[in-house]
């Protein structure tokens, strides 16, 4: 599965660099072999997934041993760690990158569980999402084609190694395509600028910070492709990156349960606010009410998870009667070119106000187009007259609520204007930069599971 480790691309002394430490393919394979020997026969194993060569060796070691790897977030509290270990049955093992052992004969087959990633648990305790080696391989091969990703690339990112974005795409993707990997440790503008990569991965928070430092953004002009995911990239950040780097960032869409299913293409027509078209093998459809342009995105294909660990009821509920996965995300598809636009989560970003179905995402983008708005999150709250009224939480300076309401009304339909604007010091976000809207509403609004976008 990890082509770079079978000698296809030779051995590179600097094949993998994580937080300043470098390893060759041979060194990584030896360290991963030691992990595989330690965990052989276990039902699953867990490692605290820091940004380190040890985490990379653990991920590879699990594949070599055919034992599912459960990455633990470094900032997980005691209760969360206990839940994940108990629920997965994983043994927690130490990893010493200096140790070496030959890879065992047993390895993960296409249908074998390779990773168990736990969702954010916003609607209850986190659920274990089981991803097979075959699903991961199918996704990485599809992305390699979409992004023209090859062994000639140097991939740069500084994303957490316990999510799909950083671990599956950012580590296993590099080891399957043979691209050199530079993990910056922390995803600072300075680190990205100094890395000298051809392919960069980031979340909107990372790209926003890079765009705010023009001298570091300009250093990325020599790259081949910038990719953004895990949350919507604000249109102003898209435009700033294009102006400063000469690149129009490619956005993609996925979840923990589905891996990446929709993406823009390298060299293709990339538009802000869109996530491209389905990858090969993926089919999508919009479950919309009659006459509505937006509805729940549903999909099927070879990259989907094999189920929630020990939760057949939850797994069954995640699918329609005819076998399509319910993403819980609201989307629209351009009828002319099939380009997808993600509006938000059905549970919190689909606002039904005054008889209209309104996506929070386009209101947020309109607010972010105002030069004095730094952050914005839009929700619907119960309203006796409208059903729901649109409320905008905004980080801004030197502008009033009525001015922002008028600004949105001038850019979108009048019925999409916020009925209330609340100024806040910051929008709470998770490790991947996604707004945590339920915190703004005191926990009354619950988002769905999975790593959306």
Highest mean pLDDT, choosing among 75-79, 241-245, 407-411: 241-245
Whether 221 and 353 share a structural domain: no
Two tokens at 420? 């209330």
One domain for residues 249 and 363: no
Please give the Cα distance from 279 to 275 (Å, whole number): 11
pLDDT in tens, 318-350: 999 999 999 999 999 999 999 999 987 777 777
Distance CA 63, CA 167 (A): 13
Strand pairing report for 154-157 and 199-202: parallel
- Co-location of 216 and 361 in the same domain: no
Residue 274 in domain: no
Task: Report yes or no on 237 lying in a domain.
Answer: yes
Q: Which of 238, 255, 272 is the last residue of a domain?
A: 255
Give the domain-ending residue among 255, 276, 302: 255
pLDDT at 122 over 70: no
Question: d(Cα 243, Cα 214) in Å, to the nearest integer?
Answer: 10
* Digit-coded pLDDT (tens) for 183-228: 999 999 999 999 999 999 999 889 999 999 999 999 999 999 999 9
Q: Is residue 132 part of a domain?
A: yes
- Predicted structure pTM score: 0.83
Domain final position from 218, 238, 255: 255
My answer on whether 250 and 351 are in the same domain is no
Across 43-57, 75-89, 142-156, 239-253, least confident range: 75-89
237: buried, middle or exposed (CB in 10 Å: 19+, 13-18, 0-12)?
buried
Domain that holds residue 384: 347-453
Residues 249 and 351 reside in one and the same domain: no
**How many domains does the chain fold into?**
2
Question: Residue 433's domain is classified under what CATH number?
Answer: 3.30.300.30
Beta bridge partners of 219: none
Q: Which position has the higher pLDDT, 137 or 121?
A: 137
Within a domain: 302: no
Q: What is the pLDDT of residues 344-368, one digit of tens each?
A: 777 777 787 876 778 788 899 889 9
Kindly write down the DSSP assignment for every residue of 43-79, as one continuous string.
S-EEEE--SSHHHHHHHHHHHHHT--EEEEPTT--HH
Note the pLDDT of residue 448.
Answer: 32
The residue to which tokens 């979340």 are assigned: 203
What pLDDT does 357 receive? Answer: 72
Greatest mean pLDDT among 36-45, 383-392, 421-430, 437-446 lies in 36-45
pLDDT at res. 434: 78
148 Cβ contact list (under 8 Å, min separation 6): 224, 225, 266, 267
Tokens coding 98: 């200096």
d(C-alpha 195, C-alpha 175), whole Å: 18
Residue 353 is assigned to a structural domain of this protein: yes
Answer whether residue 260 is part of any domain: no
Question: CA 20, 24, 25 angle in degrees (round to 5)?
Answer: 130
Angstrom distance (rounded) from CA 424 to CA 440: 9
Q: What is the CATH number of the domain that holds 72?
A: 3.40.50.12780
The reply to whether 41 and 161 lie within a common domain is: yes
Nearest to 51 by CA among 143, 173, 187: 187
Nearest to 120 by CA among 351, 358, 396, 451: 451
Strands of 180-183's sheet, edge to edge?
21-23, 16-18, 180-183, 154-157, 199-202, 225-228, 250-255, 259-263, 277-278
State how far the Cα of 266 lies from the Cα of 263, in Å rounded to an integer. 10
Q: What pLDDT does 10 receive?
A: 87
Local structure of residue 449 (DSSP, 8 states): S
The residues facing 157 across adjacent strands are 183
pLDDT for the residue 350 = 75
- Residue 332 covered by a domain: no
Q: What is the mean pLDDT of the chain?
A: 91
pLDDT of residue 446: 34
| Cα atoms found within 13 Å of the Cα of residue 75, Cβ hemisphere only | 6
pLDDT band at 452 (very low <50, low <70, confident <90, very high): very low
- Residues 251 and 351 occupy one common structural domain: no
Domain membership of residue 268 (yes or no) is: no
Dig out the tokens for 137 from the structure.
């391989």
**DSSP collapsed to 3 states, 364-415:** HHHHHCCCCEEEEEEEEEEECCCEEEEEEEEEECCCCHHHHHHHHHHHCCHH
Q: Given this model, what pLDDT does residue 120 score?
A: 66
**Is residue 32 within 8 Å of residue 57, measured between CB atoms?**
yes
């Amino acid at each position: 599965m990890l082509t770079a480790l079978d000698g296809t691309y030779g051995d590179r002394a600097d094949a993998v660099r994580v937080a300043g430490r470098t390893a060759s393919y041979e060194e990584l394979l030896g360290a991963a072999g030691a992990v595989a020997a330690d965990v052989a026969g276990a039902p699953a194993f867990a490692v605290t997934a820091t940004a380190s060569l040890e985490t990379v060796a653990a991920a590879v070691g699990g594949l070599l041993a055919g034992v599912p790897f459960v990455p633990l977030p470094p900032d997980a509290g005691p209760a969360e760690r206990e839940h994940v270990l108990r629920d997965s049955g994983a043994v927690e093992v130490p990893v010493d990158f200096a140790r070496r052992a030959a890879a065992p004969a047993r390895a993960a087959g296409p249908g074998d569980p390779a990773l168990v990633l736990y969702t954010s648990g916003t609607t209850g305790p986190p659920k274990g999402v089981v991803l097979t080696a075959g699903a991961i391989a199918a996704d990485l091969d599809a992305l390699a084609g979409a992004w023209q990703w090859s062994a000639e690339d140097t991939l740069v990112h500084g994303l957490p190694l316990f999510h799909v974005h950083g671990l599956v795409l950012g580590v296993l993707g590099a080891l399957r395509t043979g691209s050199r990997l530079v993990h910056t440790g922390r995803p600072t503008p300075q680190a990205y600028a100094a890395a000298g990569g051809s392919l960069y991965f980031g979340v909107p928070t990372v790209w926003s910070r890079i765009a705010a430092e023009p001298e570091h953004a300009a250093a990325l002009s020599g790259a081949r492709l910038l990719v953004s995911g895990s949350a919507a990239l604000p249109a102003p950040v898209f435009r700033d990156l294009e102006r400063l780097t000469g690149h129009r960032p490619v956005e993609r869409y996925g979840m923990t349960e589905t891996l990446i299913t929709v993406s823009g293409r390298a060299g293709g027509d990339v538009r802000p606010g869109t996530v491209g078209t389905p990858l090969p093998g993926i089919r999508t459809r919009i479950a919309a009410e009659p006459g509505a342009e937006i509805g729940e995105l549903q999909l099927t294909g070879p990259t989907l998870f094999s189920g929630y660990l020990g939760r057949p009821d939850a797994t069954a509920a995640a699918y329609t009667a005819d076998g399509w996965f319910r993403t819980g995300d609201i989307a629209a598809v351009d009828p002319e070119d099939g380009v997808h636009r993600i509006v938000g989560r059905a549970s919190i970003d689909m606002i039904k106000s005054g008889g209209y179905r309104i996506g929070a995402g386009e209101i947020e983008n309109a607010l972010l187009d105002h030069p004095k708005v730094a952050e914005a999150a839009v929700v619907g709250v119960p309203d006796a007259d409208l059903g729901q009224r649109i409320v905008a939480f905004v980080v801004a300076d030197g502008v009033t609520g009525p001015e922002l309401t008028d600004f949105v009304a001038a850019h979108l339909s009048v019925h999409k204007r916020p009925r209330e604007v609340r100024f806040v010091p910051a929008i709470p976000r998770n490790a991947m930069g996604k707004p945590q809207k339920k915190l703004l509403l005191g926990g009354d609004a619950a988002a769905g599971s999975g790593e959306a976008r």
